[in-house]
Chain A
């Protein structure tokens, strides 16, 4: 659809028909032509305005009103009101300029690193306010930052709108690395409250901690001496006992078949022997030596007995013995509790992996700990 830029005209004259015939003869299209008494309203395309004016003059027609509509009105507005025109021009220019330059550097994810330090480093690499976007090599900045700052484990650099966005993920502290002056967890559980008496806390209330994890770090003084960490901690400690049960076990059982051999020797010299190789595939071998001390001759009698064994598959019905097994597991778990532990909750879980059934009995206790 063609959008026409129209001009509304109101004229006053007697011989209007001739005027309109003249317009159409000259290829000027007229729209919405309405006559009322001596005045007529109509619209023409903006491009024909000068022609229409000259014809009107020729026919002695008075133009009472002229009004731009649609695009013509817009065009007239821009070109007659210079303020709006220049404001629009300025806005477009600013938008174009802003598309090419960085106006802000936004750094996210810094907890220990200092943002100013990163900004200073970027400035040293000629990346600052009003740097051209095309001059920014994101991959290079990422690599440079990783190389320069050891604390950074991951970094991404991108330009979004007017900003250069740097997302940083810092390396997490190795919580298992224990130093002599640290308070280290000897339990698995959750911290309920933590009151640090000396040192710097690494965990906070609500954190889940593992056995061996550093909870409070000792402090190193300026002169290099260490201060022992000390804290009063109330924690929800999880005491667990896990036992595994195989659904099928293979057991060697005696069948009752037996093979015996005897060997009689004197001073290492064999006098009699019926020892032969055992005919059973699986057997239990027993050797009994009898020395006839009281005899004149030092006879040594050796009896060999081979008892036949056979493999038997024993099916263990966990469900049938469950109650007893759970009780046994509970007893072992209870033995692990410390004095003054307050039992909050007890539960067990059963899981099966392949043919192994795992039974875990978990006791949740509340424990007050003072570490120094």
Chain B
């Protein structure tokens, strides 16, 4: 899958420390792109949670589905209400 942040780093020569262990992009509340996850924790149509290097990330919404899931990136599609990192 296309790695948005790697492309961004390469294109604008951004130092590595600018990026955290994970990166999240919310696209119009309909699509959330996460990279740097360490595995799926919770999967339901209203809550999707992933393990991070130092914590976890929760995406809450409605009618959620994983559009694309790979080893460290995921695209969540649905009506996104909230994205929280713990």
Binding site for B on A (CB under 8 A): 16-17, 20-21, 24-25, 27, 29-36, 40, 42
Measured as residues with beta carbon below 8 angstroms from the partner, the interface class of chain B is 10 to 19
Contacts A24-B69, A29-B70, A30-B69 given; does A35 touch B39 at CB 8 Å: no
- Number of A-B residue pairs having CB atoms within 8 Å of each other in the complex: 48
In the docked arrangement, what's the CA distance between A133 and B2, Å?
51
Contacts of A16 in B (CB 8 A): 43
Contacts of A21 in B (CB 8 A): 39-40
Binding site for A on B (CB under 8 A): 1, 39-45, 64-71
In the docked arrangement, what's the CA distance between A40 and B40, Å?
14
Shortest CB distance B51–A (Å): 9
The answer to whether B42 touches A25 (Cβ under 8 A) is no
Contacts of B44 in A (CB 8 A): 35
Option from A17, A32, A36, A40 in Cβ contact (under 8 Å) with B42: A17
- Can you list 15 contacts pairing A with B, beta carbon distance less than 8 Å? A16-B43, A17-B40, A24-B39, A24-B71, A29-B69, A29-B70, A30-B69, A30-B70, A31-B68, A32-B66, A32-B67, A33-B43, A33-B65, A33-B69, A34-B65
Contacts A29-B1, A30-B66 given; does A35 touch B71 at CB 8 Å: no
In the docked arrangement, what's the CA distance between A34 and B64, Å?
7
Contacts of A33 in B (CB 8 A): 43, 65-66, 69
The answer to whether B70 touches A24 (Cβ under 8 A) is yes
With A20-B43, A33-B43 given, can you name 16 additional A-B contacts, CB distance below 8 Å?
A17-B41, A17-B42, A21-B40, A24-B39, A24-B40, A24-B69, A29-B68, A30-B69, A30-B70, A31-B69, A32-B65, A32-B67, A34-B64, A34-B66, A35-B65, A40-B43
